[in-house]
Structure 1
Amino acid sequence: ALAAVVAATAAGRLGVAVACRRGVPAARPEGLGALVAGTVGPVALVAGTAAVALVAVAAVPDRPWQGPLAVLAALAAAAALLRHVVRRLGGITGDVLGATVELVTTLVYLGLVLSS
């Protein structure tokens, strides 16, 4: 259970890194979005994803593929949310980052508890 909490929490924060990756603009010139938009490079994203996926393996030891798949699916949902927000708002805001944390964390928890 501890591995699931760690994996879901870390994945939620990794979702923020996805939203702050290079090339993603801020919606407004002030606020949290303006401070962090475009600050995360690809190496950090790959390393972070690998680390969280590795922790997620321990969350479902009987199915070692399930944890990493839950993380990747949740990050894909975050990327879809990000595309929508950039199209609608023109970029990210602090509220978008908070929503991303909640979305990814919740989806990872759901992905970890699903069973066949």
Structure 2
Amino acid sequence: MSKKNKALPFFHEYFEEWIELYKVGAVRQVTLQKYYMSHQRIIELVPHLKMNELNRRSYQTLLNRYAVTHEKQTTMDFHHQLKGAILDAVDEGLIDNNPTRKIIIKGKDPRT
């Protein structure tokens, strides 16, 4: 069965499994909580995004939605967490290419 025919998980499901597999026991508790917070934001922003729909356009849309309520640096941190999981998904053959390439980081102006 090719990967195109296989039922692919929602992005938030993959991200949660990725956290459990690669981050639990490998990072400090405070860092792990940040990953879980990112997982919650994915559920809120793109609950129905499937792995096979994850492309540069859908990823940029996700980051833009996140950036509406977060500063640029926070959006960058969110991006870096998601990018780690997405690059592993590329390596695993779940998605064909890296949708995080050449994305634009936006965000609210920092508070004074």
Which of the five TM-score ranges fits, normalised by the shorter chain? 0.3 to 0.5
| Bigger relative contact order (CA 8 A; separation at least 6) | 1
Q: Determine which structure has the larger helix proportion and give its number.
A: 1
- Give TM-score scaled by structure 1 length: 0.32
- Give TM-score scaled by structure 2 length: 0.33
